[in-house]
Structure 1
Amino acid sequence: MTSKLIKPFMLMLLLTLSTQFFGLIKNVFIAKIFGVGAEVDAYNLANTYTISITNLAIPAIIVVLIPFLTKRGDSVAERAAINTYVSVLLLVIALAVGIGIGSLSWVLKNQHGLSESLTITLSIIMILSTAQVYRVLTAVLTAFRQVENDFLTAKIATLCGTILSSIYIIVAQSPSILLVSLFLTISFMLEATILLVRNRGFGFRIQFKWGNRIFRKLIQQTGPVVFNSIVSQVSLLLSITLASFIGQGYVATLGYANQILSIIQALILVNILTITYPSMSRIFAKTTAVGKELFIKYAIVTNMLVIPLVIGIAVIGDLFTALLFERGAFTAADTKQVTLFMTVLGIGLPGLVLRDFIYRIYFCLDDTKTPSRISVITIIVNVLLLLILTPIFNIYAVLFIPGFMNFVSAWFAYRLLEKRIGRIDARHKLVKQQLLVIFNASVMGVVLYYLKAYIHLSPILGFLLLVVTGIVVYGAMVLLTQRRFIQALKMKGANNDEESVDNELGSPLE
């Protein structure tokens, strides 16, 4: 990562840590009060179903809108295209939400004999559906801030929303899962409001210019992204639904496991992608050669952080889960199950890192069709494998198959990309460094595994000692085996990547 990006990245890291902390506090109270019972199953199912609505639009904002904003001029036609594009996204989501709420209201009012669990699930879906319009609005406003190199406002807004959504469950004496959902919806409203205030005088306005040629081009690029999102959401919903049918508590357990893993994703992958994607888009527009180097560097650095965390979770994740959740209705058996789920799910994270960076290269090249085609194929295979193997391997098929498909889709995307832009990693630096990272993290894991058996301290002191030991061991291994890469990284980071491109081409960036 370049020196110019390190300061905002560290600030984003601090804000993300704060957000994840308050999110964890909220889930600690949910675990204490509700455990892994039917109410948490209903809450997680409803959350997954409603988020799937906005996940049709948000990828389009990331994939299509951000690259366009980084390259746009200030013509009337371009402004009209942006206004129309955003207005259409918001309108479509608002209509979908309105139809969904109306349909569920009719079902709850006219259908008798619904189980209590299903009634709670449908009620929570109605509450959370309203939040999805604000999620899309937040994503749009965040995109406008990011192309202006303002990466912090969105993080501050998210932190404020997370604090608000946590207040009720913390202070209420007899909390209701329905009110937990209501406060979550209000938190999305607050987040969007903060970004609206920050974007005053800059951004978009509601406008519909259907004949605008630039708008039509954006819609053409959006089509494959939305289709891919639909297929992806079907796969996700199938996984969560299969988990709900396999047994009560599995959806809740998946929710707690994903909450911990999402900390890794939010702190590392999401932040690095957020801060580097606009720059990658500009650089690939200038020269592919430098873009390839950036991809290799960013992918290696990201997995240098992700892989040791995944191995650390496998070894000492049970201590972390117990410290967070094991109290009240959340038992020691629940801790073991959450840790197991978390470990299996975590195996797929390095593949997710590689896939997301490779897909970003396609998006920088204004190609949304190829990633969509790859995703559709892998998701179809994913669904088939789930349907075939879940009756045999039970919940373990639901846990393992999606992570395995992350690696499969990353490999196919990489091979097809090389056919388009030429050899990406002629010296196999990516593979060699990834193997070194796995070796270094494995050494750390072995040390922690044996040390863990000899520690007889309080849970929190024992966990902290293991964490510090893990950091020291892994850091020492990195210095021993990857010193050259670190030195090369520092030398390249001394000059901003975009400035290097300017010097190479002899023209300043816009």
Structure 2
Amino acid sequence: MSNVVKSAFILFVATMISKVLGFFRDLVIGYVYGAGIVSDSYFAALNIMTIAFVSLLCVAIQSTYMPIYTSVESKEGKNKALKFTGNVINIIIIVSIFISIVGWFYTELIVKFFAAGFKGERLAITVQLTKIILFSVGIVCITYVLKSYLEIHDYFLITGLMPIPYNLSIIIAVLLSGKYGINMLAYGTVFAFFVQMIFLIPFCYKKKFKYKFNFSIKDKYIKQMGLAILPILVGASANQINSLVDKNLASTLPIGALSSLGYGYKLNIFVTGLFIATITSVIYPLFSKLGNSNNIKKLKMTLCSSINFVTLITMPISIGAFILAEPIVRILFEKGKFDASATIATSHVLAYYAIGMVATGFREVLVRVFYSLKDTKTPMKNSILCVAFNIIFNLILIKYLKAPGLALGSSISAILAAIFLMFNLRKKIGKLNGMSILLTIIKTFIAGIVMAIAVLFIFNRLNVINELLAFVVSVSIGAIVYGVLVLVLRVDSTDYIIDMLKSKLANR
């Protein structure tokens, strides 16, 4: 357990550093371009790369490569595993070249699929940027193979830090684009992906990685990987497809709506990427071991602890983001061309995304449990259900709330998807200690509401002096109030923290 905690802490710190720099990158984009045609076009072009390749194909490659590599190495040795890796890389290169060529000729069709409402100048600029960015497909996929190799060898710090060279390159490209033209945004993005890959290579070689030339699509491990990728692609696609649906519909709204939705979404995934992804990345191997050994009793206990911990962490952030959405956005983004109207629009998006934060955490944990039980069909069905709900609610809510309605639709679909997964897991393995989970939700919600009252009381009184000061002080006091209340209410997830603190004090 100590190794799991250590790995989680290392990954959390690395991810925090990367996320902070990522926010600074978005601040620079907002400062230079605000929420207008260029930012809409660039976010749409980057969105095509992110959804179609990084968040789907690359994640599927990583999820299938890791267990197969481990199996090959244990059965046939390191050299055979490296030969398999070389084969994967070579196939990626061939496929990515084909994708880039096809994408070059059909760029406008691709852009219209991802941003159906783009016309005129917005469409032209997006096509122009996308043509260039698509040439980084192979680079990104290879990067994720190298990332997987490092994580197999417990190099979580390096993989957590790999967004740093990427974000720095994007920041430089944004600043240079003012002088050298908007194409610099696309060239800078391709270069950023390349630098990210180069960043990992020395550490891979430090862990005995050697590129071995091999190309065979008939290799049994390649076939195994190919068959495994499809269900994982579908099972892991809910967030990405929902994001695509949101942004596609947002492209039909007035100029700036897509950018506001994008900024709000980035603030939302900061939480899921920093806290939820860190927890699930580290706990997944433990779920897998328990699933393989068929230790269902321990699996249920671990699941309950994981969900309660996710609730404990995300509940106050969800409530805090909802009540302080406007000052959060104003403090972070309102500079340069990012004006007050952009702040209001983005804050509404963030507030509605915040409603689904806890449910998103539940879903991510539950999906890992199904995978550990070798059940990929249920997450696939969940993805389809989640997308269907998202489309339905989006089409309804966009009429009344515009871009914020898309965020609310995503939150509602995340809640329903989490309920669906919980129900089906209970059918599969029996009772899930639901009373503990329900009590944790109720107790953390009560603590969160009291925290919110304290935060608003302090913020409103200090805001007349200075908004940043008011925000920092109110959030700090709110965190203390929440922490005290969850201890008083004896939330299940706090037991481990209390025991750890007692142990530390006893050792002094």
TM over 0.5: yes
Q: Is the contact between residue 312 and residue 493 of structure 2 (CA under 8 Å) also seen in structure 1?
A: no
Shift of 1:316: 2.2
Asked if 1 retains the 8 angstrom alpha-carbon contact of 2:370 and 2:378, the reply is yes
Aligned residue number for residue 97 of structure 1: 100
Residue equivalent to 2:47:
48
C-alpha RMSD of the superposition: 3.0
- Does the 8 Å CA contact 1:36/1:330 hold for their aligned counterparts? yes
1:264-279 equivalences in 2 (<5 Å)? 264-279=271-286
TM-score, scaled to structure 1? 0.86
Mean CA deviation greater in 161-170 or 67-76: 67-76
Which residue identity does 1:390 align to in structure 2?
A: I
Alignment map for 1:167-316 (pairs within 5 Å): 167-170=172-175, 174=179, 176-200=181-205, 201-202=208-209, 205=212, 207-228=214-235, 233-286=240-293, 287-316=295-324
SS in 2 for 1:207: coil
In the TM superposition, residue 448 of structure 1 has moved relative to its aligned partner by 1.0
- 2:2 aligned partner: 3
Structure 2-normalised TM-score?
0.87
For structure 1, list consecutive stretches of 5 or more residues without a partner in the other structure. 109-113, 496-510
**Shift of the alpha carbon at 1:243?**
0.6
For 1:46, the aligned partner's letter is A
Residue 214 to residue 414, structure 1, CA distance change in 2 (3 Å): farther
Change (3 A) 1:157 1:382: closer
- Whether contact under 8 Å (1:341, 1:399) holds in the other structure is yes
The runs of at least 4 aligned residues of structure 1 exceeding 6 Å deviation read 105-108, 492-495
- Distance in structure 2 (CA, Å) of the matches to 1:489 and 1:423: 26
Question: Which amino acid is the alignment partner of residue 328 of structure 1?
Answer: G
1:416 aligns with 2:424: yes
| Counterparts of residues 313-462 of structure 1 (less than 5 Å) | 313-391=321-399, 393-425=401-433, 428-455=435-462, 456-462=464-470
1:53–1:132 contact (8 Å) kept in structure 2: no
The separation in 2 between residues aligned to 1:408 and 1:364, in whole angstroms, is: 22
Q: Which moved more, 1:66-75 or 1:434-443?
A: 66-75
Any idea what SS the aligned residue of 1:482 has? coil
State the identity as a percent: 19
Q: Is the 8 Å Cα contact of residues 28 and 171 (structure 2) preserved in structure 1? A: no
How far apart are 1:219 and its partner, in Å? 2.6
Gaps of 5+ in 2: 112-118, 504-508
Distance 2:497 2:147 in 1: 29
2:479 is aligned to: 471
Aligned length: 488
Query: Cα deviation per residue 1:82-120 (whole Å; 9 max; x = unaligned)?
Result: 655565455434422331024339999xxxxx8222111
Question: CA 1:370 to 1:164, structure 2 compared with 1: closer, same or farther past 3 Å?
Answer: same
Inter-CA distance 434–336: structure 2 relative to 1 (3 Å threshold): same
> Does 2:31 align with 1:32?
yes
CA contact (8 A) 2:238 2:386 kept: no
Structure 1 residues 450 and 176, CA gap change in structure 2 (3 angstroms): farther
User: Could you say which structure has the greater relative contact order, defined with CA pairs below 8 angstroms and 6 or more residues apart?
Assistant: 1
Q: Letter of the 1:272 partner, please give it.
A: I
Q: 2:390·2:412 contact (CA, 8 Å) conserved in 1? A: no
Q: Deviations over 1:301-352 (max 9, x none)?
A: 1221112112111222322221222122121222121111101012111111
Aligned-residue offset at 1:252: 0.6
C-alpha contact 2:436 2:492 (8 A) present in aligned 1? no
Structure 1 window deviating more from structure 2 (385-394 vs 297-306): it is 385-394
Distance in 1 (alpha carbons) for counterparts of 2:233 and 2:46: 20
CA-to-aligned-CA distance 1:443-496 (integer Å, 9 cap, x gap) = 11111112222113222222211121111111111211126642246659999x
